[in-house]
Amino acid sequence: MVCAAASPTLTTASWCLLCLPLERFHVFGPSGPIVAELGKDATLPCSLFPVMSAENMELRWFRSNVWESVFTYQDRQERHEELMAQYAGRTSLVGKFLSEGEASVIIHEVQAADNGLYTCFFSNGVLHGQASLELQVAGVGSAPQVHILGPEEDGVRVVCTASGWFPEPQVQWRHLHGEQFLEFSKAQAQDNEGLFSVEAALVVRDSSAGSVTCSILNPILGQEKAMAIVIPAWRKAQLYADWRKEQFQAWPVTLDPDSCSHEIVLSHDKTSLTCHHDGKGGEYTVLGLEGITSGRCYWEVEVKSGDRTQWGLGVWRKDEKNRYSANSPLKGKWVIGQYNYIFQAFTDPDTTLPIRQFPHRVGVFLDYDHGDVSFYDMTDGSHIFSFPPESFSGALLPYFACYSGDVSMTLCPLEAGPQKPSVPMNNPPSLEEPTVSP
């Protein structure tokens, strides 16, 4: 009971009113954490026991101290004097159950900085109570991007990157059949909005691994994004273009005018093409003049195109039936390129390639005898993509395609050496270890 001291100015009725017992109350919050996704709304509920009206009470939701106000309700209205800047215009009261002792504050468009502990405070001017609440903010960021960096020690270094996650995500590397790699390095950083970027590097020492998968997991939401990458059974000599060139025959490509779409213009020496495609009427293509039926050879192509252009290049199996078919190995084409504003390999389904920027000089490496078609960024020598090995049949020709926009492609001059083998190479040297050309 709370009773005011006697006062000569108080009437008997007033004195009796002040001496009425005030019922004690307790404030309760949720029993467990409140989970909210980035960008969505979060509700912080509190209630009184026993049930009584909170309409005339002072209500506060705050962070570490009472002056770090998230929301304040006093004298039947919202008060903004002590509101933290990050919550300005982002909080509102659900007050329709105040008469029943229930009140909730909504935080709109949750941010990473909203993550953490809160306190809700109820006071009737004499008695007060409070309860603690935990808000767990969670967000799923970008899908992982995986690429091969190159050889390291006795294996291949593979790097996985992702951004925009909260809280710090869990990273796993898995074998083809699901077993986890236990040893890999990981680094993380937070941006200005508090979101996490991660980079995880794995050294694959098993040359028969086939493929590895990087998965990024949000531990609160239980949501995962993953990407796999094929690890060819190569040694160091195959991981960098400069090393592979020592084992491959330079193949100066001549473009075949008879295979050229009318919309493509060839240079006088048949080593470059230009194309303007309005995006209608399918693909415009041109082929290399001479087919490859054995051995190892490579050629380099400089590509000039805009962000909105679409093009492809690679290898085509000589078969008139598949000339204008879909781009995929199943249709006799091993092609990569820029399509729908992303860089991809035309597999079935398409494979988005994890590159930092579109390559402007692409090396195409064809190992006919081992069934391998691989692509490299010849600017920095890094590996772009390798199609799964298969058994080739028939002649394979260089392939160039324009799907939309203005595109030019030029066959780059190659290093000195035989201009073109009259007979395809047989019994090429082993790729197991690097060798030095004479």
- Residue 168 in this model has a pLDDT that exceeds 90: yes
Chain position carrying tokens 């159950």? 97
Residue 21 has what pLDDT? 52
d(C-alpha 413, C-alpha 252), whole Å: 8
In angstroms, what CA-CA distances link 367 with 180, 424, 435, 437?
32, 11, 17, 18
Give mean pLDDT, residues 236-258.
74
* Distance between CA atoms of residues 339 and 194, nearest Å: 33
Tell me how far apart the alpha carbons of residues 182 and 174 are, in angstroms, rounded to a whole number: 9
Euclidean distance between CA atoms 203 and 258, whole angstroms? 47
Fold of 241-411: Jelly Rolls (2.60.120)
Whether pLDDT at 268 is above 80: yes
Which is nearest to 314 in space by CA: 412, 399, 408, 411?
Answer: 399
DSSP helix/strand/coil, 265: strand
If we measure between CA atoms, which residue out of 114, 162, 138 comes closest to residue 222?
A: 138
| Local confidence band at 22 (pLDDT 50, 70, 90 cut-offs) | low
Q: How far is CA 250 from CA 152, 269, 421, in A?
A: 27, 18, 9
Average pLDDT over residues 224-240: 68
| pLDDT at 420 > cutoff 70 | no
Are residues 102 and 96 in contact, defined by beta-carbon separation less than 8 angstroms? no
Cis peptide before 144 (omega within 30 of 0): no
> Average pLDDT in the 89-95 region?
93
Query: CA-CA distance, 248 to 306, in Å (whole number)?
Result: 31
19-138 shares its CATH topology with 241-411: no
Percent of the chain with pLDDT over 70: 82
Every domain of the chain and the residues it spans: 19-138, 145-231, 241-411
Q: What is the DSSP letter of 245?
A: H
CATH number of 19-138: 2.60.40.10
Average pLDDT of 324-331? 69
The tokens of 433 are what?
């270890």
Average pLDDT score, the chain:
83
Report residue 324's pLDDT band, with 50, 70 and 90 as the boundaries.
Answer: low
Q: What is the DSSP string of 372-419?
A: EEEEEETTTTEEEEEPPP----S-EEEEEEEEEEEEEEEEPPPPSS-S
- Choose the most confident range, by mean pLDDT, from 311-325, 335-349, 395-409, 412-426: 395-409
Residues in the chain: 438
> Residue 438 has which token pair?
């004479």
pLDDT digit string, tens, across residues 43-75? 999 999 999 999 999 999 999 888 889 999 999
pLDDT above 90 as % of the chain: 58
Of the candidates 225, 239, 201, the one whose C-alpha atom is nearest the C-alpha of residue 377 is 239
Q: Which of 12-21, 290-299, 349-358 has the highest mean pLDDT?
A: 290-299
Of 102-111, 116-125, 235-244, 253-262, the poorest mean pLDDT is in 235-244
- Judged against a pLDDT cut of 60, whether residue 152 lies above it is answered with yes
Which position has the higher pLDDT, 41 or 341? 41
258 and 397 Cβ atoms separated by less than 8 Å? no
> Hey, what are 378's tokens?
């010849």
For residue 371, the SS3 value is coil
CATH code reported for the domain at 145-231: 2.60.40.10
pLDDT greater than 70 at residue 436: no
Ramachandran area for residue 242 (φ above 0: left; ψ -120 to 50: alpha; else beta) = alpha
Q: Residue 233: its pLDDT value, please?
A: 56
Q: At residue 424, does pLDDT exceed 80?
A: no
Q: How far is the C-alpha of 228 from the C-alpha of 433, rounded, in Å? A: 26
Cross-strand pairs, 123: 58, 128
Residue 41 has pLDDT above 50, yes or no: yes
Average pLDDT (418-436) is 32
On the question of pLDDT at 386 being above 50, the answer is yes
Residue 295 is classified by DSSP as S
